[in-house]
Amino acid sequence: MALTRMSPVLLIFLRHAGCPFCREALGDISRARRTIEAFGARIVLVHLGDSAGMERLVAKYRLAALSRIPDPERKLYAAFGLARGKLWRMFGPWVWLRGIQAALLEGHGIGIPSADTAQMPGLFLIDGSRIIRRFRHRSIADRPDYASLGIPRIRLAGAP
C-alpha cells in the first residue's frame, strides 16, 4: 500500500452513511484526530459506497480533508478479514441500547441504509508493511478508542 510508505496509517473501515454507529465513529475520530496526527499517523477512511452520503457526513464532522477509499464491493474489507455480521452482532440487546445512545442521546441520528448493513467495521494501524494494531468489532455497537489505537507503538516508547 503506497500510503503506508509515507507514514503510519490508521485505516478505519466504516459501515454505511445511514448507520448511527458510523456517525458516532466519525464524531470520535474527529475528536481524536489531533492526537493521532500529532504522533505522525495519517487517518484513511474506508467506506462501503454511497460516496455522496459519506461526503456529507465527513463534512459535518470536519473530516473532509481525510483520504477516503470507497469499497462498494467489499474487497478491501475481505482482505482485512472483516466479515459480515451475524444476527446477534447486529440486533442484540446491547446493540439496541448503544444505538439509542448514539442516535438519540449523543445526537448522531439515523439515516437510510445505503449499503450492506451486515458489514462489520474495524481499524488497523499499519506502519510500512506491518499491521501493528488492529480492532475488529465483535458487534456493530463496539466503540474503540481511536486515539490510543492510532498512536504508533514506536512513537509511544519515545514520547515525552
Task: List pLDDT tens digits, range 103-144.
Answer: 776 766 677 777 777 889 999 999 988 999 999 988 888 899
Burial letters 96-110, b for 16+ CB under 10 A, else e:
eebbebbbeeeebee
- Return the CATH number at 65: 3.40.30.10
74 phi-psi bin (left φ>0, alpha ψ -120 to 50, beta other): left
Average pLDDT, the chain: 84
Residues in contact with 158: Cβ distance below 8 Å, sequence separation at least 6, in sequence order: none
Residue pair 64/58 in contact by the 8 Å Cβ criterion: yes
Cα separation of the two ends of the chain: 30
Amino acid (one-letter) located at 9:
V
Q: Into how many domains does the chain fold? A: 1
Whether pLDDT at 19 is above 90: no
Q: What is the per-residue pLDDT for 156? A: 47
Confidence tier at 53 by pLDDT (50, 70, 90): confident
Host domain of residue 79: 3-158
d(CA 76, CA 114): 18
| H-helix segments, the chain | 3-6, 20-38, 51-60, 75-79, 87-91, 93-100, 146-149, 153-158
Confidence of residue 71 (pLDDT cuts 50, 70, 90): very high
Closest to 25 measured CA to CA, from 87, 103, 119? 103
Is the pLDDT at 3 greater than 70? The verdict is no
pLDDT at 5 over 90: no
Q: Nearest Cα to 72, choosing from 20, 27, 119?
A: 119
46 or 149, greater pLDDT: 46
Query: Residues 31-50: pLDDT tens digits?
Result: 999 999 998 899 999 999 77
Bridge partners of residue 43, in order along the sequence: 10
Quote the pLDDT of residue 160: 45
Per-residue model confidence (pLDDT) at position 1: 53
